[in-house]
Amino acid sequence: ENFNSSGRCSGTRDLRVPVPWALSSGGVMAQYGTLLQDLTSNITLEDLGQLKSAGKEDIPSEKGEEITTGSACFSFLESHNKLDKGHLSYIEHIFEISHRPDLLTMVVDYRTPHLVPPPCEEGGVGMRGV
């Protein structure tokens, strides 16, 4: 489908205008990995304790004891389908309730240009033929 600059469907699209979701999946994955590395490098041991506490409903206490780094925390969340390149809302919530607006901002800054608009449905609200 084609989308105009507002993210709505259109009959044609100016190919000279780059759209954020036109990145290759490899590029997005590389940027996702960089995001996790950046987050990990900004998480202190105290932060890690707060993050595990904020996610205690999803991180069993015995697993929480095994998680000693930010990287291990993100790996655990990925393995339990709480985190991936297209699913960042969980860590956004965790950073919000653990009072780390700087980390939340990093995630939002990553997520915003990588949003993929939903596909247009036949007869939907898209602006076909505009």
Q: How many CA atoms lie within 13 A of 31 on its CB side?
A: 18
Question: What are the pLDDT digits (tens) for 24-37?
Answer: 445 667 799 999 99
pTM of the predicted structure, to 2 decimals: 0.64
18: Cα separation from own chain's centroid = 21
Question: What are the pLDDT digits (tens) for 77-108?
Answer: 999 999 999 899 999 999 998 889 999 999 99
| pLDDT, mean of residues 101-124 | 75
**Would you state the structure tokens that stand for residue 12, as one six-digit string?**
């044609």
| Residue 3: predicted pLDDT | 45
Q: Which residue from 73, 84, 83 is spatially nearest to 29, judged by alpha carbons? A: 84
User: In which band, very low, low, confident or very high, does the pLDDT at 12 lie, cut at 50, 70 and 90?
Assistant: very low
**Residue ranges of domains in the chain, CATH in brackets:** 24-114 (1.10.533.10)
Question: What are the pLDDT digits (tens) for 45-82?
Answer: 988 988 888 888 888 888 888 899 999 999 999 999 99
For the chain, helix (H) and strand (E) counts, in that order, are 6, 0
The pLDDT mean for the chain works out to 75
